[in-house]
Structures are given as C-alpha cells and as structure tokens.
Amino acid sequence: MNNKLPFGDEPVLVTGSAGFIGFHVSRALLSSGFRVVGMDNLNDYYDPALKLARLELLHSFPNFTFNKISLENREEMRLIFEKNSFQWVIHLAAQAGVRYSLVNPHAYTESNLTGFLNILEGCRQAKTKHLVFASSSSVYGGNTKMPFSVQDGVDHPLSLYGATKRANELMAHSYSYLFQIPSTGLRFFTVYGPWGRPDMALFLFTRSILQGKAIQIFNHGNMQRDFTYIDDIVEGILRIAANIPSGDDSWSSEQPSPESSSAPYRIYNIGNHQPVALTTLISLLEQELGKKSEREFLPMQAGDVPATFADVESLAQDTGFYPKTPIQEGIKQFVRWYLSFYKV
C-alpha cells in the first residue's frame, strides 16, 4: 500500500463501504491506521448477508465508524457532511450492474445521479481536498478501438448504467470547474477477487460448477474482459487519492483532451491491460475447483459489449503503478476464499 497518503488524522469518507470495492479500500486504510467513516444503505440488490459479513470485519477496527444512509437522502447526506466536514472522500457507492438497469432503471437515476449530486454538494460545502469517485469501463459503450483510452470520446453508452457513470464524470467536472473541488474519476475494468459481488460472472460460474448446473455464456463464447484483481484496484485508488489534481496548464479549449482539464480534474482507467477470453476464465476455474463445467452458449445480452481492454498509460505515468496480478493467481485467491466463506 502507498505509504504517502495525505490523510493524517482526518477521517476518510468511504461510500459503499459494505460493498465489494469499498470494503477492501476501507480495510486497507484501517489496517494502516487511518480513520474511516463508512456509508452504505445495505440494499438487497444482492445478498445483504455478504455485506454484513464484510461490515463485521471492518467493525473489528477501532478507527471505523459506520452510517446506514442512502445517497439519495438529501437531508441525511447534508447532515453527515455538516457533522464531519470531510476533506477526503472516496465515493464507491452506486447502483451497479448493466443488465439490472433494464429491469429497474429508476434505481440508477436515484443512486447514481441524485446520490452523486448529494456527494458533490457535500464536497462543495466541506471544501473537500480531494474527491475520488468510481466510474466504469461501461462508459466506453459502443467504442471498438482497442485498447480503450481516456483520450477517446465516450459519447455512445450502451446501457443506462454506463450513461449514469458518464454523467458522473461530467457532473464532477462542472463542480471542479465552478468550485475548484479536486476530483478524480476512475474507470474500473471488471473487478474480481475475494469478497466479490454475487452478480458477477466469476461468482455465478463458480456456484454453477459446484452445483453441477450449466454456465450461461453469452455471445456464444466470443467475449473478452480485462479482469482486474481487487488488490490492484485498491492500490490504484489509494495512489490516486494521494495524487491531488490541479488544472492542466497544457489543456487547450480548442483541442480539449477528455482526460484532463483547466479545472482540477482527471480521469484514469484502472485495468489489468490484458483481456482474457471468458472461456479461458472458465477453464482456470475448472482447474482450481477440480471439476468440469457444463456450458450453455447464448446470444449477446442487451447492454453488453464483446470486449474490454484498458489503456493504463496515464495511470502509470502519474502514479508509477501498473495493475499486474496474473489471472491465474487472482482466480486461485478467489476460489480459496469462496470455498472457505461458503464452507464448501
């Protein structure tokens, strides 16, 4: 973990602290002695028992406090910022998932748009020193040029989820420009690892293999993902948190670069920059579980993209960090956790 974090004795607000990434970030900060104020609404998008198990671990640290709050609750959000005047905010809470946005679109506008506005307003009132927020590789939408670069335009989202994440980037920029709030958006690429989300492919595949059920593989198996191990995501987030943006003097309004600005604002990809075929992932899972899968090949799902591939040169240039965990090691660590946690 980066030892040059600037937080000192000031509390760090981590939203989504009972979620997959938020839990790992909170635990890393707490393990290094920093104070963390966690926030989550503990909704039932997936099994709340898993969220409560994560929280139980975080509560073992004396420097952790937790608040059950929904982002869209304007008054509660105002009060928590007023009480704590957070100088450091790592915003990881959101309504996640591409396919679920076809079923319950209002959950995305409430959490990801209204909720994010409440975060921005809190940061404005507190004069926050740095807001780091989660975006997603889903913003690349209809782009097909590989690898996906932060210098590319991202104006063709293929899902409402991706559209809300792109909206977050634009909202954050406007607040950075208007109120000089240093803000950094991080486009995560298919995060996986221990304590992961049960709605993600790795979790679903593992459960199906162990139960002897067929794995559903979309686009007839022609899918690639830039699977990024959770430890690399955490390292990237914390390095970025210590790298407070300022206005880019070389930014040109005549040829505007999407990744930076004259305002204190930046965008980065965090991915393993090594796409892996879904069928390769399944084969590695079979190897670790010692059991073959049954496979059901299906057409592409609405909102999905056939491949993701992150260009992380900007991240490496500004932080000296490349995500590097091999997929074989990441799968091994996930399976070890899964078998232990679920007592298989």
pTM for the model stands at 0.96
The structure tokens 């090949």 sit at 297
CATH number of the domain at 12-189+230-272+309-324, please?
3.40.50.720
Residue extents of the structural domains in the chain: 12-189+230-272+309-324
Please name which of 163, 89, 73, 161 lies closest in space to residue 125, comparing C-alpha atoms. Answer: 89
Beta strands 276-277 and 224-225: pairing type?
antiparallel
Q: Pull the structure tokens for residue 165.
A: 């994440």
Digitized pLDDT (tens) for each residue of the chain, 344 residues in all: 545 899 999 999 999 999 999 999 999 999 999 999 999 999 999 999 999 999 999 999 999 999 999 999 999 999 999 999 999 999 999 998 888 888 999 999 999 999 999 999 999 999 999 999 999 999 999 999 999 999 999 999 999 999 999 999 999 999 999 999 999 999 999 999 999 999 999 999 999 999 999 998 888 778 899 999 999 999 999 999 999 999 999 999 998 989 899 999 999 999 999 999 999 999 999 999 999 999 988 887 876 778 888 999 999 999 999 999 999 999 999 999 999 999 98
Q: Are 323 and 232 in contact (CB under 8 A)?
A: yes
Q: What is the DSSP string of 206-220?
A: HHHHHHTPEEEEGGG
Q: Are 314 and 269 in contact (CB under 8 A)?
A: yes
Collapse the DSSP code of 267 into the 3-class scheme (helix H, G, I; strand E, B; otherwise coil) and give the result. strand
pLDDT of residue 222: 82
Rounded CA-CA distance 8/278 in Å is 42
The CA–CA distances, whole Å, from 309 to 13, 137, 198, 225, 312 equal 30, 9, 23, 7, 10
Q: DSSP E strands: which ranges in 95-182?
A: 130-136
Rounded CA-CA distance 12/33 in Å is 11
Q: Pull the structure tokens for residue 63.
A: 């420097």
Q: Pull the structure tokens for residue 73.
A: 């609750």
Please name which of 270, 282, 177, 181 lies closest in space to residue 223, comparing C-alpha atoms. Answer: 282
* Residues with catalytic roles: 161
pLDDT of residue 218: 82
pLDDT of residue 72: 97
Rounded CA-CA distance 275/123 in Å is 36
Instruction: Tell me how many degrees the CA angle 298-336-38 measures, rounded to the nearest 5.
Output: 90
